[in-house]
A and B are shown apart, each in its own frame.
Chain A
Amino acid sequence: MQDKTSRPSPLRGAQSKQETAGEPNTGGGLLAAHLLTRRQFTAGSIAVASGLSALGSACTGCDTPARSADTSVRLHVNGTRAEVDIDLRSSLLDVLREQLQLTGAKKGCDHGQCGACTVHLDGRRVASCLTPAVQADGREITTIEGLSPEGGPLHPMQQAFIDQDALQCGYCTPGQIMAAVACVREGNAGSAEQIREYMSGNLCRCGAYAGILAAIQQAAPEIGGT
């Protein structure tokens, strides 16, 4: 969606290009750490975490007036390999949504606060809005679109969400389902108490929590132990 090619590379972007020039795209550990100091969300998150909430227009001031060098990452998304040219600062969420047209993961806050963007990275749930896309380089990503085969039967958790009417507006639902599947696989779905605890990072303003709990309890026996 962003037309990067038409833009000249201002200084700082060029600099980061140099910094990364010699590095092959292997896993992105270093890169990610480097990025974390630069990404605007970090500033936002830190401010909030330390209780300084008085940032009216919190992030507008910290948008670095720069363009990063492009890089390319190899993403294994839903069993398909894709090589994607990305802006270094892109979040996994933006790459999934805007470059791979996988819009199932939603952007409710872009700051790791709502869970609507939850996807699996090597089987673990992550907030994709907080995950730099480079960090996903070479790793397995599963999104809601990849949970069940297209046109095939629904994943037991998806079916359970329908059966238990665990959604209203549905905006939190892809995130809830991905978190729910992970919650079961982690072994954190042993009791209602535990499920509520381990699902508490996924907000649902429609208040479908009772249905979500019931859905997880319905699907857990079917997917447990995988």
Chain B
Amino acid sequence: MATSPPASASAVGSSVPRADGPPKVTGASRYVDDLPAMPGEIFGRTVRSPVPRGILRGVRFDPAFDWSDVTVVLAEDVPVNVVALILDDQPILGTGKVNHAYEPIVLLGCADRLKLSRALQAVTLDIDPLPPVLDMRAALEGEEILWGTDNVIKRYLITKGCADAERERSEAAIDAALARCEVVVTGTYASHHQEQLYIEPQGVIAWWDEAGAHATGSIQCPFYVQKAFLKAFGLPADRIHITQSVTGGGFGGKEEYPSIIALHAALLARKSGRPVRMIYDRTEDIEATTKRHPASCEITSGCDRDGTLRALKIRVLMDGGAYATLSQVVLSRGALHASGAYRWDDVWIEATAVATNTPPNGAFRGFGAPQTIWAIERHLDRVAGELGCDPLDLKAKNVLRPGDSTATGQVLRESVAGEECIAKAIAASGYRQKRAAGPVVRGRVARGIGLSVFMHGAGFTGSGERYYKGKIAVDLAPGGRLRIRTASTDIGQGTETVFRQIAADAAGLPLDRVEFEVPCTTTVPDSGPTVASRTVMVVGSILEAAARELASRVREEQEAARQPRAAQEGQASSAAPPALSFEEAADRLLAREGKVTSLKQYEPPSYVRWDDEAYKGDAYPCFGWACDVAEVEVDLDTFEVTVVDFWSAADVGKAIHPVMCKGQIEGGSLQAIGWALSEEIVWQGGKIRNPRMTNYIIPTSLDAPPFHVVLVEAPFPFGPGGGAKGIGEMPMDGGAPAVAAAVEHATGIAARALPLTPERLFEAARGAEAPRTAAGRGERARRYRSSSTVRRARSICRRSRGCSMRSGGRSGSRARRRGARRASAARARC
């Protein structure tokens, strides 16, 4: 499906070419490191702790090194040494105690980049190591205390039905409810770190002048950075100018972390009196920046023999890393999605985030939900196994319908499309027939199919929107143009294009009359952060109102100009042609008033009620719904998994731009497939062993299956453009459980922990009974160790050296593995 100019007057719903397309395909877009050097600019770098925990005794600078042109910033140079976010527990530069490997301790700046890297080597950190706590269970046990009084960053309890008793009795009540159920299943499901791996590494340029502090960079949420500067430097808001440059992907990774880089760059700039360019290289980016929280979910469920789900008890444990960052919010979203897209009578969910001596984890697309949805989906697959039915039947039977209530007691009324998504995904994929036929085994390759059903809360959790009061402004510009001013950033997801569509339609103007201002904290209002799939649904809705209001003011002006003339000429005013064109009327209005702006603030729908204490009520204004189906091939010798087809039926309320909407679903699903199959952070003593793109394996074009996306539109009455809901995060939720279900169908291996790498599947096959996997076959999985790594090496050859290795012309893992063997041979030669 291609983009094309709007066929009708209405831009919403048509896939117009993206606004940022031409500069991006010609190389004209300026990402932060593309910005020309400012006069006197220097480079900045960070000296980091090599150990995960210890006491910092001092910092030594090699006296033999020439420090004359190197700027050095230490903790004592920081006015208020705290990264303002939620709990304000993280120092800008470590001092006293070191709490994780790669913790920043010293900043260095120098105009000569080579000298700067040598300077880095000339700094010695004197740290007395302490035994680190690297495991979240050990942290929960609390033998060593690293954070607060018990290592617990946050804990939530969600109860429903009979578990709705006071805290002490609620657990006993849910246990009793479970005991009454006919079929009880228990299991623990684990998920792992994931690196965002946006292709543009993080970076900021900072400088100071008479107007105050400036920072420009690859930033998802400029006002987070502003807030951090307010605290650290004690500056008034109007002296802090945080500007987003064109941003090469974020996926959550550039939500809160850029505050740290911006603070570091600004500290160096303040001390040196020069602009400072601080761009992370890939290794530093992977090591130091935030990742998805690993989680473990212990689930016990009870249901009737006929598959009616009754009672659910879950313990969620998340690893927050060394500082709190956004963990409590991530945990909240995780807990609120832990019961899945299903109806339960009695629910007890206890969710805990603990601190460990690992680098802090933070925002990543899905924000806690993929971890708990992975768990509940895998669990229900097992329940279906116990009941002897297909997971589809169990899930379709229990999926939430209008009138049902969620785990927090939120009664779903409108825009509830779980059933429809299931029906559409099943029809499109031929799931039933393929399941019924059983896994197809051809030679060494077994093919299987699996599915997941899920919902994702759109927008902030609970009272978030009431608290944030997101704003947007639309200005009238000369020539009857509209200029959108918002802090909602376009980081690739297409905000700029979609916002123009919404504004143009609301104002009744052609698309090219709408401009989008570069987000800077001193020129745009705080729309709230670009997170939580809230941009289109929440900010888009106030944009729609603002654009409409502005246009009607111009039309009033037109009307006012017509009235006197119509009266003069004695004509019926309705028949008279407007005396002024829209453009003329706009200019007249502008000339008279100087500035014509509509500023709108978001008000959540009045029915939204949320109790932050009891964790009850309307957790989200609405949910997006989806059903994913994955078809995989598993090489029974090497345990390589190839996703050969992928279907997703997703309810988005209303697709403002169907092509980009599908792009979000494909991209999110592919990240989910990567998380499920190949992406793995390898830890050793609290440090990362694979901080590179060659050994942290994200999907390539070869790993991307054909995506078949079915857009379902169950409009949300308060969404813009006729009912749009958030879509950015949802596609991250369902891929992993669907792939795991398909692998189980193909091989009988029921994975309960991510990722499903060949080694892990082999271990699982050896550990559990795996009927279709002959003993011993998997031995080869070990020899073809990390075949994906080898595949990556070959992919690189393909591109960078015009390598002559030929594809065998056969698809799937056999050809790949053969190619892989050749790749290793080729590599050996090189």
Q: Is the CB–CB distance between A194 and B807 below 8 Å?
A: yes
Q: Among the listed B37, B682, B793, which residue makes an inter-chain contact with A49, where contact means beta carbons less than 8 Å apart?
A: B793
Chain B residues near A197 (CB, 8 Å)? 701-702, 798, 807
| Contact flags B697-727 to A (C-beta < 8 A → 1, else 0) | 0111110101100000000000000000000
CB distance from B822 to the nearest CB of A (A): 13
The stretch among B257-265, B333-341, B568-576, B662-670 that forms the contact with chain A is: B662-670
Chain B residues near A127 (CB, 8 Å)? 796, 799-800
The stretch among A15-23, A24-32, A132-140, A165-173 that forms the contact with chain B is: A165-173
Q: Is the CB–CB distance between A211 and B198 below 8 Å?
A: no
For the complex, is B142 an interface residue (Cβ under 8 Å from A)? no
In the complex, the chain A residue whose C-beta lies closest to that of B41 is A1
Q: Is the CB–CB distance between A170 and B492 below 8 Å?
A: yes
For the complex, is B31 an interface residue (Cβ under 8 Å from A)? yes
For the complex, is B10 an interface residue (Cβ under 8 Å from A)? no
Q: Is the CB–CB distance between B283 and A57 below 8 Å?
A: yes
- Per the bound structure, the CA–CA distance linking A163 and B595 in Å amounts to 37
Interface residues of A in 81-132 (CB under 8 A from B): 97, 101-116, 118, 124-127, 130
Interface residues of A in 196-226 (CB under 8 A from B): 196-214
Q: Among the listed B114, B287, B491, B682, which residue makes an inter-chain contact with A63, where contact means beta carbons less than 8 Å apart?
A: B114
CB distance from A158 to the nearest CB of B (A): 4
Q: Is the CB–CB distance between A174 and B27 below 8 Å?
A: yes
Q: Among the listed A205, A212, A214, which residue makes an inter-chain contact with B251, where contact means beta carbons less than 8 Å apart?
A: A205
For the complex, is B690 an interface residue (Cβ under 8 Å from A)? yes
Known: A200-B700, A206-B249, A213-B701. A169 touches B2 (CB 8 A): no
Q: Among the listed B3, B199, B659, which residue makes an inter-chain contact with A171, where contact means beta carbons less than 8 Å apart?
A: B199
Q: Among the listed B282, B702, B707, which residue makes an inter-chain contact with A196, where contact means beta carbons less than 8 Å apart?
A: B702
In the complex, the chain B residue whose C-beta lies closest to that of A1 is B37
CB distance from B198 to the nearest CB of A (A): 6
In the complex, the chain A residue whose C-beta lies closest to that of B250 is A169
For the complex, is B563 an interface residue (Cβ under 8 Å from A)? no
Chain B residues near A167 (CB, 8 Å)? 18, 21, 24-25, 492
- Per the bound structure, the CA–CA distance linking A170 and B599 in Å amounts to 31
- Per the bound structure, the CA–CA distance linking A119 and B4 in Å amounts to 29
In the complex, the chain B residue whose C-beta lies closest to that of A201 is B799
CB distance from A133 to the nearest CB of B (A): 15
Q: Is the CB–CB distance between B199 and A113 below 8 Å?
A: no
For the complex, is A59 an interface residue (Cβ under 8 Å from B)? yes
For the complex, is A177 an interface residue (Cβ under 8 Å from B)? yes
- Per the bound structure, the CA–CA distance linking A199 and B793 in Å amounts to 13
In the complex, the chain A residue whose C-beta lies closest to that of B793 is A49
Residue picked from A111, A112, A113, most chain B C-beta under 10 Å: A113
Count chain B residues whose beta carbon lies closer than 8 angstroms to a beta carbon of A. Answer: 98
- Per the bound structure, the CA–CA distance linking A185 and B118 in Å amounts to 43
Size category, A interface:
35 or more
- Per the bound structure, the CA–CA distance linking A207 and B695 in Å amounts to 19
For the complex, is A79 an interface residue (Cβ under 8 Å from B)? no
CB distance from B388 to the nearest CB of A (A): 37
| Contact flags A15-57 to B (C-beta < 8 A → 1, else 0) | 0000000000000000000000000000010001101011011
For the complex, is B112 an interface residue (Cβ under 8 Å from A)? yes
Q: Is the CB–CB distance between A63 and B20 below 8 Å?
A: no
Known: A63-B114, A145-B27. A162 touches B22 (CB 8 A): yes
Known: A48-B692, A200-B702. A169 touches B3 (CB 8 A): no
For the complex, is B26 an interface residue (Cβ under 8 Å from A)? yes
| Contact flags A160-189 to B (C-beta < 8 A → 1, else 0) | 011111011111111001010000001000
Known: A56-B688, A168-B494. A109 touches B118 (CB 8 A): no
Q: Is the CB–CB distance between B799 and A109 below 8 Å?
A: no
Q: Is the CB–CB distance between B695 and A170 below 8 Å?
A: no
Q: Is the CB–CB distance between A109 and B689 below 8 Å?
A: no
CB distance from B104 to the nearest CB of A (A): 13
Q: Among the listed A111, A130, A201, A210, which residue makes an inter-chain contact with B798, where contact means beta carbons less than 8 Å apart?
A: A201
Q: Is the CB–CB distance between A114 and B800 below 8 Å?
A: no
Interface residues of B in 759-807 (CB under 8 A from A): 789, 792-802, 807
Q: Is the CB–CB distance between B695 and A201 below 8 Å?
A: no
Q: Is the CB–CB distance between B796 and A112 below 8 Å?
A: yes
Known: A61-B121, A193-B811. A203 touches B698 (CB 8 A): yes
In the complex, the chain B residue whose C-beta lies closest to that of A170 is B24
- Per the bound structure, the CA–CA distance linking A147 and B22 in Å amounts to 13
- Per the bound structure, the CA–CA distance linking A125 and B36 in Å amounts to 26
- Per the bound structure, the CA–CA distance linking A63 and B112 in Å amounts to 13
Known: A49-B793, A143-B27, A200-B700. A60 touches B121 (CB 8 A): yes
- Per the bound structure, the CA–CA distance linking A101 and B28 in Å amounts to 11
For the complex, is B186 an interface residue (Cβ under 8 Å from A)? no
For the complex, is B90 an interface residue (Cβ under 8 Å from A)? no
Chain B residues near A7 (CB, 8 Å)? 112, 115
- Per the bound structure, the CA–CA distance linking A148 and B26 in Å amounts to 8
- Per the bound structure, the CA–CA distance linking A110 and B692 in Å amounts to 11
Q: Is the CB–CB distance between A65 and B198 below 8 Å?
A: no
Chain A residues near B249 (CB, 8 Å)? 168-169, 171, 205-206
For the complex, is A80 an interface residue (Cβ under 8 Å from B)? no
Q: Among the listed B115, B200, B796, which residue makes an inter-chain contact with A106, where contact means beta carbons less than 8 Å apart?
A: B200
Q: Among the listed A165, A203, A210, which residue makes an inter-chain contact with B707, where contact means beta carbons less than 8 Å apart?
A: A210
Q: Is the CB–CB distance between B796 and A56 below 8 Å?
A: no
| Contact flags B595-624 to A (C-beta < 8 A → 1, else 0) | 000000000000000000000000000000
Chain B residues near A201 (CB, 8 Å)? 700, 795-800
Interface residues of B in 450-502 (CB under 8 A from A): 491-494
CB distance from B103 to the nearest CB of A (A): 13
- Per the bound structure, the CA–CA distance linking A142 and B511 in Å amounts to 34
- Per the bound structure, the CA–CA distance linking A103 and B101 in Å amounts to 33
Q: Is the CB–CB distance between A2 and B113 below 8 Å?
A: yes
Q: Among the listed A53, A114, A207, which residue makes an inter-chain contact with B704, where contact means beta carbons less than 8 Å apart?
A: A207
Beyond A144-B25, A168-B663, list 20 extra A-B contacts (CB 8 Å). Answer: A59-B283, A60-B117, A63-B117, A114-B199, A118-B799, A127-B800, A163-B3, A168-B249, A169-B198, A169-B199, A169-B492, A171-B198, A186-B802, A193-B809, A196-B702, A203-B693, A205-B199, A207-B670, A209-B704, A210-B704
A-B contact pairs, 13 of them (CB 8 A): A57-B283, A65-B118, A107-B33, A109-B282, A126-B800, A148-B26, A159-B25, A161-B25, A169-B250, A171-B200, A197-B807, A205-B671, A209-B670
| Residues of B near any A CB (own CB < 8 A) | 2-4, 15, 17-18, 20-22, 24-31, 33-34, 36-37, 41, 50, 101, 111-115, 117-118, 120-121, 196-201, 246-251, 281-283, 287, 491-494, 659-660, 663, 666-671, 682, 684, 687-695, 698-702, 704, 706-707, 789, 792-802, 807, 809, 811, 827, 830
The 4 closest A-B pairs by CB, nearest first: A104-B27, A201-B799, A169-B492, A171-B248
